[in-house]
Amino acid sequence: MELHAWVDAYLDHLRVERALASNTVEAYARDLGKLCAHAESQGVMDPKGLDAPMVSTFLVVLAAEGIGARSAARHLSAVRGFTSFLRRERALEGDPCALVERPRIGRRLPKVLGQGEVGDLLLAPDAVTFRGLRDRAMLHLLYAAGLRVSELCGLKVGDVDKKRGLVSPLGKGGKRRLVPLGEPALDALDAYLVLRKDHPGGEGTVLFLSPRGKALTRQGFWKIITAYARGAGIAKPSSPHKLRHSFATHLLEGGADLRSVQALLGHADISTTEIYTHVADDHLRRAYKKAHPRA
């Protein structure tokens, strides 16, 4: 079987057996498509030709094209997953990535909004119209629960337990978690639900409805939050993920422990959550310098 066919088999494995999100599978497809093109340029058409020099020259070619270390590391991760799959399927004997070093990347601190800026953003939607009430409820849930935008847009009515004040988003890998919601988020949701029942699609299970009664897309909500941030006079570039970053950072600034924040965010590895401690440390340093008489 040729290399392209093995890539298709691996993508099916990611999609069906590992239940990865479609956008994640598409990213793997793009990265591995580049690997196949590089292999073919070297006369390699099947997995047996994938070796350490091949993978190393692939990274060199990416660097020559101007791809940064972070993106190159992502490509290498895709190649490692693919070659591991090939070894399990006995289409490849050795590990061509074993001696290939991962490109070194600096740790980029997440950009966050201040608590005042978040407050301005939450007040931006018109709390009278259906669209305004929907957008206000979405912004509140996004910040109150630290949701990914895909989790927010994928919420069903039954995913929110208003009596217990909990939301249960479907996260990466099809895993669910329970996240508490505060009164402001629940109140915003209640106000939206009053109008939702008479909106097209109001009899269905999708929580946040588009004008046509369908689920909002991630791209659609990205445009919505950008417009509200601009209208609220927030100069920083804003996005759904920036509210998730802000959620985590503000929790740590308020004294929450790292393990709790990890659980709320749905991170499998606490090292992913640890990056927020650097942002919170900056906040503590500023507070110390401002308040301590001997700072």
111 is catalytic: no
Region of 128 (left: φ > 0; alpha: ψ -120 to 50; beta: rest) is alpha
Active-site annotation holder among 28, 143, 228, 276: 276
List, in sequence order, the alpha helices (H) in 179-239: 183-196, 218-231
267 is catalytic: yes
Per DSSP bridges, beta strands 179-180 and 166-167 are antiparallel
Active-site annotation holder among 148, 242, 245, 250: 148
148 is catalytic: yes
Active-site annotation holder among 134, 244, 245, 250: 244
Calculate the alpha carbon distances from 291 to 68, 184, 253, 285 in Å: 41, 31, 16, 10
Active-site annotation holder among 4, 74, 241, 283: 241
172 is catalytic: yes
Active-site annotation holder among 172, 177, 199, 218: 172
> How many Cβ atoms from other residues are within 10 Å of residue 290's Cβ?
8
How far is 186 from 190, CA to CA, in rounded Å? 6
How far is 61 from 150, CA to CA, in rounded Å? 33
Active-site annotation holder among 15, 80, 267, 283: 267
| Active-site residue set | 148, 172, 241, 244, 267, 276
